[in-house]
Structure 1
Amino acid sequence: MLLLWPLPLPLPPPLLLLLLLLLLPLAMLWQQRRRARPSWLARLQHQVAWGALGLAAAWQHRKLEQSTLHVGQSQQQALEWCLKKAQGSCCLPRGSTDLSTFRSHLPLTKTRQAKEEESEEKLLSPAPLQDHREASLQATLLGLVTLNKAYPEVLTPGSTACVTPTSPWPNSVPWLRHALGRVSPLGAKDSQTLLLEALISPGLRALEARTAVELLDVFVGLEADGKEMAEAIAAGNLGTPLPSRAAELQEALEQGPRGLALRLWPKLQVVVTLDAGGQAEAVAALRALWCQGLAFFSPAYAASGGVMALNLWPEQPQGFYLLPPGVPFIELLPVKEGTQEEAASTLLLTDVQREEEYELVLTDHAGLTRCRLGDVVRVVGAYNQCPVVSFTGRLGQTLSVRGEVTDENIFSAALAKAVGQWPGAKLLDHACVESSILDPCDGSAPHYEVFMELRGLRNLSEENRDKLDHCLKEVSPHYKSLRLRGSVSPAKVHLVRPGSFRVLREALAACPSSSFPPEMPRVLRLGHLAKLLQKRVMS
């Protein structure tokens, strides 16, 4: 299933890799000393960079093959590494690396989010795990080679641009990005400059953004500021004036959002973003509107600030990921009928069953806690002895005003069905709040407060608002029962101004404890975040 191939090497791999890595900085230094870059030097630079990348990726491939063929041994080594690094800071017997002792002395704990959700001074984010450069580098190298195998032209010079300050690749490797001839300028700090650089390059084949929600912000901002950006391109703010390209931008914007990316970049093939919690809605909006007709690829799934799983199958639109057996140490907790079995024992990677759902439990040497992330995966296959999974939801994103427990998937399905009945409407983003958080003194029955950002609709009739409540009753028998008894009032639906969720994400990212990338919460537990959206309601 892996999309890599062995490379015939005239020299031993370590020596050849060292030679390539030495040649690359020399070529870049020569380039910096000259005003113009000869085409032959650009080609040499790209070939050297790609040779180094291919060798490093082949090395990582061999390591992955060995670890996934001997999963039990690999997981034991990962556990021993975590325990050795944490010696003196844990309650385990000194020198103990036994799995049963590890489980008995370290009980499962929930994320900081679950413990602190009532605190107004804390954000909705789990405690960040220690970043592992090895896992990040492996995800980046294997992802680049895998992407090149599926789309052979996207990594040629001048074919890729990133439109957010942070790359979707877990390990950005700046020298490699420059040597591969990326369009994105080095040192750019804002998305607008990056987008302008991408707009003046009509031959792009791949568009990158750190996450799908940030790419959604980029396209919404492009529509709002398109006239100013066209003027900047025509005036040559980034170099040579390009009035014809500015005219193409204006013409493309006048035709609306649907298929905009392919009108701007006719050769575009794939959109690369980093998958994380709460991204599915943004991906759906991008696929339906601005990025219609394009493939999406994520090199990895990130949770709690680190790489949790690798994507080796860009041809799979569902997003299948390999759970690797390295650090952090991974256990899986069975999930039954949408609720957690508190008495259930965790399983190792080799013990899971196909089509079953599990919650991820991670252990890192930093703090050495067996942390229940809340991220739920369904096992869809196997790679050697390791499970291949799809991420299905997050246990922490549930609504419960009367003990009904409406989880993220159930609510999202009801909301999608309701929005589908609103003519012309396309959902861009949403968040939910339990009514007691916004107004604990409200005399009405408890209910859901729903904040949405829509495209194509700026006002909702009462009849349309009621459709969400009807759809919730259809997908949740418990909610329906509470509504019929009058224990719960109908859900209240609010439309917020364009850009409201970008402001929410900025507030989330501003906290030092925010995960990287920040997960997009669908259920807000903190009053100040809920009121941030409440102040931006327009209907």
Structure 2
Amino acid sequence: MERIFYVKTVTCRVWTKARDYISCSLNQKQGPGGLLARPVLTSYYQSEHFKTRPYDPYNVYTSPNEAILCPDSFQSMYTQMLCGLQDRHQVLRVGAVFASGLLRAIRFLQLNWEQLSVDIETGDLNPKITDPSLRECMDKILKPNPELARFVRRECSKENWEGIITRIWPNTKYIDVIVTGAMAQYIPTLDYYSGGLPKACTMYASSECYFGLNLNPMCKPSEVSYTIMPNMAYFEFLPHESNSSKFTLDSSPKLVDLVDVEVGKEYELVITTYAGLCRYRVGDILRVTGFHNSAPQFHFVRRKNVLLSIDSDKTDEAELQKAVENASRHLREFNTSVVEYTSYADTKTIPGHYVIYWELLVKNAANSPTDDVLKQCCLAMEESLNSVYRQGRVADHSIGPLEIRVVKNGTFEELMDYAISRGASINQYKVPRCVNFTPIVELLDSRLVSAHFSPGLPHWNPERRR
């Protein structure tokens, strides 16, 4: 019998032999007409389909419904972590909807393992858990286990957390998590915490519609392609070279039907759903990789129009991520990696310049990267950006030197908490790769550790433009 360990508050899912550990965002709003607006996973977990689900030996959760549905994210996460630790030998797979969610769960364990071990040792629940139904439920589950408490203390008190997932849950076979698109930058950190476990990207979906499946879930993250399921909606595709931002049923760019897409070309996904969305632009850019029978298969490229711009330059999400990846190579000899990043187009300076916020995982504090190394990271990023950007830096002097601002560990967790406090769904949250909202910029700057500027100009050849 397989159990599922799924933390939905941080969108983390850990599959086990007997039960599942789930945490969920119960974020929802009521519109002017009285209808509820909420993410699809919130809708599912609040529904009778979930609450009265029939027994399934492959989907028995480690956490009770009370923990899953608790509206307080701390209480929900805390009790689910307790359940997950108690069933640690039954865990077969660990995962999340997004990679950032799984890392947030690990961070929660880092911050709370001491109190969790006390609860496990004594069998008494933390007084911070105040929800009556949750306390009543956990009183039936939580029993004194001094041996497990000693194990948790021994493993979590170590400075080195490499392989912590397989150390805590030794029977884990793979990680079930989305690591395509912008989530690819989490792969090195996931490898660090999981000891290099395989990463399975199983599905492609959104709150608007379920799109497709990965028929080869154990492939490398870079090779993931999703097969579109044509019975889920009516799918059309807007060739990516089209720059039109608006279209109507009467006047629109040339849309391509599902069966007419061409291998190697990129398209923006357009859907018409059973729920009533008509030619809705999802905002995802997909590249056709092949066909399964007559159904096309797509590689997720990026979200559309996530840009940094100072002058005439335009930097999208994929290009920014590639620049971060190239720059982070300078950190390898220091056993350091970029855990999280976002960016900001600072136009207050003259000329304006790109600001990249980095949160670093330094595995050996005695060998942390120096100021000179981080300056070289700035230059490496600039070398990776497009020719229009580099022309602005070198020839036009319309863009200032790129700046990397290193922030304290946990800063991006605070950023997520801030977004949730303003109504964002935990289950749907993704770290914004570009920010311009003043309170967010102020939050990031308030956690500043150091700032580093590009020490020189990137290469630019006016005869060859990329």
- Residues 227-376 of structure 1 aligned to structure 2 (within 5 Å): 227-237=114-124, 239-253=142-156, 254=158, 256-273=160-177, 278-287=182-191, 289-318=192-221, 319-336=224-241, 340=243, 345-364=254-273, 368-376=277-285
How far the C-alpha of 1:467 sits from its partner, in A, is 2.2
8 Å Cα contact 1:170/1:307 also seen in 2: no
How far the C-alpha of 1:432 sits from its partner, in A, is 0.6
Give the TM-score, by structure 2 length.
Answer: 0.72
**Residue number in structure 2 paired with 1:470:** 379
**Residue number in structure 2 paired with 1:479:** 389
How far the C-alpha of 1:269 sits from its partner, in A, is 0.9
- Residues 389-538 of structure 1 aligned to structure 2 (within 5 Å): 389-422=298-331, 423-436=334-347, 442-456=348-362, 461-475=370-384, 476-485=386-395, 486-512=397-423, 517-538=428-449
**Residue number in structure 2 paired with 1:115:** none
Alignment size in residue pairs: 381
CA root-mean-square deviation: 3.2
8 Å Cα contact 2:201/2:214 also seen in 1: yes
Q: 1:221 to 1:519 in 2, by over 3 A?
A: closer
Partner Cα distance (1:200, 1:250) in 2: 14
Q: 1:185 to 1:273 in 2, by over 3 A?
A: farther
**Residue number in structure 2 paired with 1:133:** none
Partner Cα distance (2:100, 2:44) in 1: 20
For 2:107, which of 220, 229, 236 is the aligned residue? 220
How far the C-alpha of 1:252 sits from its partner, in A, is 2.3
8 Å Cα contact 1:164/1:194 also seen in 2: no
Partner Cα distance (2:212, 2:42) in 1: 13
Partner Cα distance (2:349, 2:441) in 1: 19
- Range moving further from structure 2, 359-368 or 466-475: 359-368
Q: 1:507 to 1:303 in 2, by over 3 A?
A: farther
How far the C-alpha of 1:200 sits from its partner, in A, is 1.6
Partner Cα distance (2:232, 2:206) in 1: 14
Partner Cα distance (1:333, 1:272) in 2: 30
Q: 1:435 to 1:200 in 2, by over 3 A?
A: same
**Residue number in structure 2 paired with 1:379:** 288
Partner Cα distance (2:104, 2:424) in 1: 23
Partner Cα distance (1:216, 1:432) in 2: 20
Cα shift readout 1:444-490 (whole Å, capped 9, x = no counterpart): 21111111211117876432332233223322222222211322111
8 Å Cα contact 2:353/2:400 also seen in 1: yes
Partner Cα distance (2:118, 2:446) in 1: 33
Read off the aligned partner of 2:78 and give its amino acid letter: Q
How far the C-alpha of 1:210 sits from its partner, in A, is 4.0
- 2:65 partner SS: coil
Indicate the structure with greater strand content. Answer: 2
Cα shift readout 1:238-257 (whole Å, capped 9, x = no counterpart): 52221221222223231622
Give the TM-score, by structure 1 length.
Answer: 0.63
Partner Cα distance (2:56, 2:319) in 1: 46
Read off the aligned partner of 1:450 and give its amino acid letter: I
8 Å Cα contact 1:168/1:272 also seen in 2: no
Percentage identity across paired residues of the two chains: 23
Cα shift readout 1:57-104 (whole Å, capped 9, x = no counterpart): xxxxxxxxxxxxxxxxxxxxxxxxxxxxxxxxxxxxxxxxxxxxxxxx
8 Å Cα contact 1:169/1:274 also seen in 2: no
How far the C-alpha of 1:514 sits from its partner, in A, is 5.7
Read off the aligned partner of 1:497 and give its amino acid letter: K
8 Å Cα contact 2:342/2:357 also seen in 1: yes
- The one of the two structures with greater contact order (alpha-carbon pairs below 8 A, sep at least 6) is 1
Partner Cα distance (1:516, 1:366) in 2: 21
